[in-house]
């Protein structure tokens, strides 16, 4: 049986189940954002997104050829486009196709 110390800096908890962090350090902060619908991602957005992804089936991230799963607002977020006065923030000119991995890493960087 392999044991290790929790990988969270300074935590002294010893783990025996093969995980890398103890229970106290695996919890995620609660998502306090408004719902997706409240943020403007309604049925109209879902239809537009599906059409965009069908027309753009591959991730556009440099060096990636994975299947696209997310219509990402770019170079500005949807919120920034609306604040800038864009009447059509969901227009295809404001979108790019990304795989889940690249979309999630971009989103995580933005939330920091």
pLDDT at 108: 78
Tell me the average pLDDT across 80-91.
93
Confidence of residue 112 (pLDDT cuts 50, 70, 90): low
pLDDT at 1: 60
pLDDT at 68: 96
Confidence of residue 102 (pLDDT cuts 50, 70, 90): very high
Tell me the average pLDDT across 88-105.
94
Question: Where are the strands (E) in the chain, listed by range?
Answer: 4-5, 14-15, 70-73, 95-98
Tokens of 51: 């059409």
User: What would you report as the CA-atom Rg of the chain, rounded to the nearest whole angstrom?
Assistant: 19
pLDDT at 49: 97
Q: How far is CA 50 from CA 57, 78, 112, in A?
A: 10, 17, 28
> Is residue 4 over pLDDT 80?
yes
pLDDT tens, position by position, 15-72: 887 778 888 888 777 788 899 899 889 999 999 999 999 999 999 999 998 999 999 9
């Amino acid at each position: 049986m392999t044991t290790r110390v929790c990988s969270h800096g300074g935590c002294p908890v010893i783990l025996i189940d093969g995980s890398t962090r103890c229970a106290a350090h695996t919890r995620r902060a609660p998502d306090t954002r408004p719902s997706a619908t409240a943020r403007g991602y309604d049925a109209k957005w879902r239809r537009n997104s599906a059409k965009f992804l069908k027309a753009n089936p591959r991730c556009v991230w440099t060096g990636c050829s994975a299947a696209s799963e997310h219509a990402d607002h770019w170079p500005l977020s949807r919120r920034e486009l609306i604040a800038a006065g864009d009447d059509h923030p969901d227009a295809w000119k404001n979108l790019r196709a990304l795989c889940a991995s690249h979309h999630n890493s971009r989103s995580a960087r933005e939330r920091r």
